Structures are given as structure tokens and as C-alpha cells.
Amino acid sequence: MHCWKTVKIDQLYGDWQLLGFSLITVLISFTLLFLPLSFLLDIQNIRDDNFLIFLTLLLALYPLHKVVHLITLYLLKAKVVLLRKKLYRWRILVTEPMKKEKYMVALLMPFFLLNSVLLIFLFIFPNYFHYISFLLASHIGVCVPDFIYLKSMIKSPVNCLIEESDDGYEILRN
């Protein structure tokens, strides 16, 4: 096996640029979600109570995202280590090379699972659609680094393996 490509998004973009991409994604997503939903749902009875629940869910969004990654990797039988890079940033390190397709599933699972749950909540609790649509937009913003990793994996050859290191990952090929 030899290394086809090394991807280090921390060095490529940096923390502040990734944060900027994520915040812009949150703003665009919220705008694109809120406007159509305000026409689709009954917004006559919007409620703004339960703000503490909203704030708690907003703060729990990133840890929930990471937990879904961990559970998915566990179900895919990957060996992982959880590292704390900074106070606000956690990294899941897969310790053995993994097939590209499995790794892509692990990257996409939080996006599909948590966003599906939030979309269901939108229709169950239409009075709180402004809170839920912001949670949905925030989670899409949390997924931005996953999409950046995914973009480089899509361009990689078929039947390759992904091996992680402390600062990124390598795409290995026969």
C-alpha cells in the first residue's frame, strides 16, 4: 500500500476559516429553511417559551454529532480513540485503516440521522419551528468539516483505505 493523498483540513483551512465556513453555512441554511417553512407550516401560534431547552439542545448538538460518529464507527467495527484537541473540539481517531465506503458512511451518518430527527420534530412541534429550523441549520454547519473530508474522498480511487493520523488522514491505495 502507498499513500495516494494526505488530507489535513486543519492545515489547509485553519480553525478560523473552518469556523467561518460553518457560520456562513448556518446563516444560509437557516435562511433557506426558515422562509419555505414559514409558508408551509402554521405560524400563527409560534411560541417562544422553552428557550432553555432550545439552548441546551443547541449546546448538545456538537456532542450528539460526535456520539453518532462513534456509534456508527462502533457498528462498523472500527477501532477508535476519542481525543480532545481543544476545549470545544473533539476528534475521533480511527486507529486502523478502514475501507473508504465505510468511512464515508460514518461521515454522513450524523448528517442524515440528526437532520431527519430534527425534520420530524419540525412537523410534530410546528409552534417551535423557528427554534428547530435554527437547530437544523446549526447542525448543517457542524457537518461542514465532514463534507470537506467527504469531497476529497469522493475524488479518490475505488477500493482504497483511509488511515487517520493526529492531524488528518491518508488515502491508501494498492
Q: What is the pLDDT of residues 39-68, one digit of tens each?
A: 887 677 788 888 999 999 999 999 999 999
User: What pLDDT does residue 87 have?
Assistant: 63
CA distance linking residue 66 with residue 110, whole number of Å: 8
E strands of the chain, at which residues?
2-7, 80-86, 89-94, 98-99, 161-165, 168-173
Residue 44, in any domain of the structure: no
CA distance linking residue 3 with residue 172, whole number of Å: 5
Residue 19, in any domain of the structure: yes
> How many structural domains compose the chain?
1
Domain carrying residue 81: 2-39+50-173
User: What pLDDT does residue 6 have?
Assistant: 82
Closest CA to 22 of 148, 127, 168, 164: 148
Q: What is the pLDDT of residues 97-123, one digit of tens each?
A: 999 999 999 999 999 999 999 999 988
Residue 70, in any domain of the structure: yes
